[in-house]
A and B are shown apart, each in its own frame.
Chain A
Amino acid sequence: GENVEQHPSTLSVQEGDSAVIKCTYSDSASNYFPWYKQELGKRPQLIIDIRSNVGEKKDQRIAVTLNKTAKHFSLHITETQPEDSAVYFCAASNIQGAQKLVFGQGTRLTINP
């Protein structure tokens, strides 16, 4: 089955700097890669996702890149703000095969003012 590894487990950056979180996956059949943000005491919520037919997707300060050959994908947050502080989870699945979402272990991102 699919296995997703996420690094780093914790990340601390100065406000205004960029943050990068990386994930690797094992199943080459995976074709859907979402990122979820979980603020303290709240439920995880989707912030961005990417399909395997594209290499990069951007939404304002957030971008995700995918390297299918190397089986890794990354979340990039630019111009970080205090409200970006949260736990971020990557995930992977073969959505056409109706396979379950497999999550990484999470990254606790702290933005220092």
Chain B
Amino acid sequence: GAGVSQSPSNKVTEKGKDVELRCDPISGHTALYWYRQSLGQGLEFLIYFQGNSAPDKSGLPSDRFSAERTGGSVSTLTIQRTQQEDSAVYLCASSLGRSRGFKWYTEAFFGQGTRLTVV
């Protein structure tokens, strides 16, 4: 597809279960972000992948959260032993992430998000 795709769109899970959220970035984009957005709140940074560099995991709120990016493309955010406070919309974004000569390909494109509800 032409845009960033996230699945599932909605996920309801029981407290204590593990969940996996998937992000398909735009083809060729080297930078990939995960953010969390609680109702009416801002964009909470979780993790950043850039090419082959070690990911910036500084935003992950606890060791229950982890993310992978396989082959520099698809990313999976995993939340183990979910808690009610994990309920939020999880947004993925990707960008080309680099400049070529004088032109910068910098726009970050967001997916539609996964709404996670922990009951």
Contacts and interface: CB of A to CB of B under 8 A. Distances in A.
> Does B bind A?
yes
Interface of A: 1, 32, 34, 43-46, 49, 51, 89, 93, 95-96, 98, 100-106, 108
Nearest to B92: A43
A103 B45 contact: yes
Interface residues of B, number: 28
B42 A106 contact: yes
A43 B35 CA distance: 12
B53 A105 contact: no
Nearest to A42: B112
A9 to B, nearest CB: 9
Given A1-B58, A98-B50, A98-B51, 7 more contacts: A43-B91, A43-B111, A89-B43, A100-B31, A100-B48, A100-B50, A103-B43
Interface in B74-115: 91, 93, 95, 97-99, 104, 106-108, 110-113
A95 B43 contact: no
A38 B45 CA distance: 16
9 contacts: A1-B58, A32-B106, A43-B112, A44-B43, A46-B108, A98-B31, A98-B53, A98-B98, A101-B95
Contacts of B112: 43
Contacts of A100: 31, 33, 45, 48, 50, 56
Nearest to A100: B48
Given A32-B104, A45-B110, A101 B33 contact: yes
Nearest to A9: B42
Contacts of A43: 91, 110-113
